Amino acid sequence: MPSFDTVCEADFVEVKNAVDNAAKEIGTRFDFKGTSAGIELKDKEITLFGDAEFQLQQVEDLLRNKLTKRNVDVRFLDIGKPQKVGGDKVKQVIKVRNGIESELAKKLQKLIKESKLKLQAAIQDDKVRVTGTKRDDLQAAMALIRKDIADMPLSFNNFRD
């Protein structure tokens, strides 16, 4: 039975490289000299540091540029609110999304069920597996998912005939 998996996975090697490049540029840029501006990656969280919210915004823009150059979709970023750390320092935590949340998985399942295509969608951990009898129906489902869910960087893998 033909099937494919709908996943939401960032390329963490490229994310790490982008963070490293951004940290290197922060260290060499004139407008960041003598400030506490910085960036670090731990597990699936990127932490931005700065003296003010304006500086955090500059570091975030720098990170976005580096991610874009490395072909990592910025929709993977779940940006948190700036927090005061101590004194006049601020930090901001950005989570890198990995996997499909249960709400989105249910929405995908409902979307495929309402499409009147002869397909079944099953939620498996952090991905949604779509199976059907015809390959054309699966390709139609991919197009439907791409069109209806544009706010998440979904990709399709494990396509089987």
- Give pLDDT tens digits for 107-130: 999 999 998 889 999 999 889 999
**Cα end-to-end distance, the chain, whole Å:** 6
Burial of 132 (0-12, 13-18, 19+ CB in 10 A): buried
Q: Are 36 and 91 in contact (CB under 8 A)?
A: no
The sign of the torsion formed by the CA atoms of 130, 132, 135, 139 equals negative
CA 7/CA 98 separation, integer angstroms? 9
Q: What is the mean pLDDT of the chain?
A: 92
Structure confidence at residue 88 (pLDDT): 86
